Amino acid sequence: MLSEYTKIPASMNSNVALKIIPGHYATTHSHITNYMEIGTMKTRCSEAHGVATILAMHYTISTPVDTIVCADGTEVIGTYLAEELTRAGVLNYNAHRTVYVIAPEYTANGQIIFRDNLQLAIRGKHVLLLMGSLTTGRTLEHLMEGVRYYGANVSGACAIFSAVKEVDGVLVNAVFHPEEIPNYQSYSPAECPLCKDGVPIDALVNSFGYSELK
């Protein structure tokens, strides 16, 4: 499938590019018209650093960040983002004067947990949430509920791609947006016009990749 992709360069850094493939795809909460491959941006150091540099531009020294919680396998980006925010002088209030970079753990039924030894990076901390891609915002909302349960203050949220601008009053900053993707549409599964027209689903997709339906 990936041999058919088109590259969309980021407006702030042409070395960072989103790979897209038009089609009919099912996410956890919606059906979308483009698959967005973000795997290399999460795993290739040069691209991850480029993504982090772009995201860091959205935060000023008045935004406190003690911890970056990395969902969707974005820990490499999160590490570079912590460096960029520290270099820019973003405030943090933890005793070690540094930024923690951690990932949430999920139980078998999808609940978010942070083990006792990691809660020091969450409880009472100012947390920036980092995601791979967001189509409806429900996954981010779930993550926000999880970190708040453990006593965190949500300072902000960001993603490689986001179709939503705000979730629960928190602004979502992203490298790529729907208006940059040709003919991008997102539908609820019950209202998807492609399904109503009998167009088969090409693949199940999430921030980690895709699984073709054959």
Q: Which domains does the chain have, with CATH numbers?
A: 2-212 (3.40.50.2020)
Mean pLDDT of 31-57: 94
Q: How confident is the model at residue 208 (pLDDT cuts 50, 70, 90)?
A: confident
Is beta strand 186-187 parallel, antiparallel or unpaired with respect to 166-167?
unpaired
pLDDT tens readout for residues 68-116: 999 999 999 999 999 999 888 776 665 557 899 999 999 988 899 999 9
SS3 133: strand
pLDDT tens readout for residues 15-36: 899 999 999 999 988 999 999 9
**Chain-centre distance of CA 209, in angstroms?**
13
